[in-house]
Chains A and B, each alone.
Chain A
Amino acid sequence: MDTNLVRNFLALLARFLSGASVRWIDSQPDTCQRVYFANHTSHLDPIIIWSALPPRVRMLARPVAAKDYWTKGPVRRYLANRLFGAILIDRKEIKVHQSPVDLIIREIGHHYSLIIFPEGGRQTGGEIGEFKSGLYYLCKKRPDLELIPVHIDNMNRILPRGEVLPVPMLSCVTFGPPLWLEVGEPKTRFLARAREAVRNLKEIRNEE
């Protein structure tokens, strides 16, 4: 089957099921190398962000996902490997010489963009969890990458943790203005700033 056709169909299906409206605030879709980092509440999150991007940008975006979840069964493997080109991270065995950050940098080269969820796992409460340090080490090795904060709203109600079948409520994906790791910026300050950038996008939604 034509992979591109399947991709476009899947993106349409994801958009319909999630009822996602997409907003770019002080930001534009671009094919330059970027890291989209978002809050994480549902297994559908990577698919939603991926499908919210325009087709040309979407082709370059590769989600970072958990190996144990996305290698279970032929369907998930097909989706992760063939359709999304996901970079799968082993959450259980992290080896010193094979750190996830090195793997990611090798995989994206100077061509692909990334979709990552720095909270590390799905959150159940309404709050955005503390960011894991992976984002910082990634930026330290590749300070040229543009970081785009993304906020996903209402996905926790569409497919909550522990559920298999989605309920088609409406959601909203907001892309924010790019930010970079400043020279000499301490780890905790940078991670707090990145988390705040995602939080701000949530606030903008509520004001309107």
Chain B
Amino acid sequence: MSLIGAVLVLLGAAEVIVWALRRRPAGGIDPAILETFRLRVHFWWILLAALAAAFLLGHVVTVVLFGLISFWALREFITLTPTRPGDHRALFWVFFLFTPLQFVLVGTGYYEMYSIVIPVYAFLFIPARIALAGDYKRFLERTAKIQAGLLICVYCLSYAPALLLLKLPPLANGEPDTGGGVRLLLFFVLISQLSDALQYAWSQLPNKHVIVPAINTTRTWEGLLGGTVSVTLIAAGLWWATPFHGSNWWMAAAMAAVISLMGFAGGITMSAIKRDRGVRDFGTLVEGHGGVLDRVDSLCFAAPVFFHCTRWWLLWQLAKN
């Protein structure tokens, strides 16, 4: 809880800085960068609200909040994707059946169901429904786009709130660790956002080696390595405060490295999609929207992998005891 308080103070400070910089007439800072930062701070408030809700009101509110974020990200993804009138009915079920269903299943903690309902059932349903509509033009391409949108925006992101329902090993005094899931989610969100920020900061170094110039000119080797090493060190140094304190210090460090690398993978993948569609970010696609997908790309890629690693770690802990 004190950690949430600390984050609250930090976010408050960030908000004040944004406010002060915006008031300064023609300051030395590029207004586009400032606007990006402002939107990112707003997104952090939403994440903080989701985490605080998990502490105060239980996991249901957090699952619903992530569900809404998923819903909005999927809207942006599908709006960007060229679909044909024949996809309409399939899309209806994607938005109003599979998306809510995934989060309901996550909320019940029924792992055997929520881990397959989209990769198996939705995966098969979408092409069948489109085929029934009778439009075969670019069939495989349209099907794949809708499946990819559903998998990235809904399935992958739903693994973040799913962390809340993981059972951690009992505490040293033998009592069950009830707040463990919340700490896992907090660890995940903090590390992934921190690694985003640090990767950005490291890539500002004057000596730049851009990784994939054709796709994204801001992602450099300096940013990737510097950011990943930084968050890994932070997690290793603070390992006693992480959910992995019962294990070795390197467990926390390894988890942070995984989150950081997957976050990078998410960012570069979304950049490739945006490049293909010829937009700078999902926010400018339809005028006036915040670009939720630009904010959650790293979370989408890191969440399922972090969840999976953590689950294995838990099984290993259980076998050890």
Show the binding face of A for B, using Cβ within 8 Å.
Answer: 19, 21-23, 153-154, 157, 160, 163, 165-172, 174, 205, 208
Pick the residue among A153, A166, A170 that contacts B289 (CB under 8 A): A170
Q: Mark B75-115, 1 if CB is under 8 A from A, else 0.
A: 11011000101001101100110000000000000000000
Instruction: State whether A172 touches B287 (Cβ < 8 A).
Output: yes
Most chain B beta carbons < 10 A, residue from A19, A22, A174: A19
Distance of A169 Cα from B285 Cα, bound (Å): 12
Please judge, given known A-B contacts A160-B85, A160-B88, whether A169 and B284 are in contact too, CB under 8 Å: no
CA distance A12 to B92 in the complex (A): 21
Given A157-B83, A160-B85, A208-B284, the answer on whether A170 and B95 have CB atoms closer than 8 Å is no
- Shortest distance between the CB of B67 and any CB in chain A (Å): 14
The 6 closest A-B pairs by CB, nearest first: A21-B288, A170-B286, A167-B91, A170-B79, A169-B79, A160-B85
Contact between A171 and B286 (Cβ–Cβ < 8 Å)?
yes
Chain A residues with CB below 8 A from B91, complex form: 167
Q: Mark B271-292, 1 if CB is under 8 A from A, else 0.
A: 0000000000000111111000
Minimal beta-carbon separation of B96 from chain A (angstroms): 8
Chain B residues packing against A (C-beta within 8 Å): 71, 75-76, 78-79, 83, 85, 88-89, 91-92, 95-96, 284-289
* Apart from the given pairs A163-B85, A165-B89, 8 other A-B contacts in the complex at a CB distance below 8 Å: A23-B288, A154-B286, A160-B85, A165-B92, A169-B78, A169-B79, A171-B286, A208-B284
Asked if A167 and B289 make an inter-chain contact with CB atoms under 8 angstroms apart, the answer reads: no
8 Å CB contact of A167 from B76, B95, B285 = B95
Complex CA distance for A174 and B79, rounded to whole angstroms: 18
Contact of B76 among A157, A166, A170 (CB under 8 A): A170
CA–CA, A66 and B191, complex, Å: 56
Number of A-B residue pairs with CB-CB distance less than 8 Å in the complex they form: 51
- The smallest beta-carbon distance between B103 and chain A, in angstroms, is 16
- Give the CA-CA distance A167 to B89 in the complex, in Å: 8
Q: How far is the CA of A19 from the CA of B287 in the complex (A)?
A: 11
Nearest opposing residue in chain B for A153, CB measure: B286
Given the complex of chains A and B, what is the CA–CA distance between A168 and B96 in angstroms?
9
Alpha-carbon distance A160/B75, docked complex (angstroms): 16
- Inter-chain CA distance A205–B285, complex, in Å, is 9
- Cβ contacts under 8 Å, A23 to chain B: 287-288
Which residue among A19, A153, A167, A205 has the maximum number of chain B CB atoms within 10 Å of its CB?
A: A167
Contacts A19-B75, A167-B88 known; A172 to B286 CB distance under 8 Å?
yes
Task: Find the residue from B83, B88, B91, B92 having the highest chain A CB count within 10 A.
Answer: B88
User: In whole angstroms, what is the CA distance A172 to B289 when docked?
Assistant: 10
Complex CA gap A205/B92 in Å reads: 26
Looking at the complex, which one of B75, B83, B287, B288 makes contact with A168 (CB distance below 8 Å)? Answer: B75
B286 cross-chain contacts in A, Cβ below 8 A: 19, 21, 153-154, 170-172
Cβ–Cβ contact B88 & A170, under 8 A: no
12 contacting pairs across A/B (C-beta < 8 A): A21-B288, A23-B288, A160-B88, A163-B89, A165-B89, A167-B88, A168-B75, A169-B75, A169-B79, A171-B286, A174-B287, A208-B287
Flag if B92 contacts A167 (CB, 8 Å): yes
- In the docked arrangement, what's the CA distance between A163 and B133, Å? 12
The interface residues of chain A lying within 8 Å CB-to-CB of B95 are: 167-168
- Complex Cα–Cα for A165 and B93 (A): 10
Closest chain A residue to B91 by CB distance?
Answer: A167
Cβ contact within 8 Å between A170 and B92:
no
| Pairwise interchain contact B287-A205, C-beta atoms closer than 8 A | yes
Closest Cβ neighbor of A163 among chain B residues: B88
Which residues on the B side are within 8 Å of A171 (C-beta)? 286
Contact B288 A172 (CB under 8 A): yes
CB distance from B130 to the nearest CB of A (A): 13
> Contact partner of A22 among B75, B76, B284, B288, CB < 8 A?
B288
> CA A166 – CA B71 in complex, angstroms?
15
Are B289 and A19 in contact, CB atoms less than 8 angstroms apart? yes
B287 and A154 contact, CB distance less than 8 A: no
B289 to chain A, nearest CB (A): 6
Contact B75 A21 (CB under 8 A): no
Kindly list chain A residues whose C-beta atoms are within 8 Å of the C-beta of B288: 21-23, 172
The answer for the CA separation of A141 and B318 in the assembled complex, in Å, is: 83
Q: Which of A23, A169, A208 has the most CB of B within 10 A?
A: A169
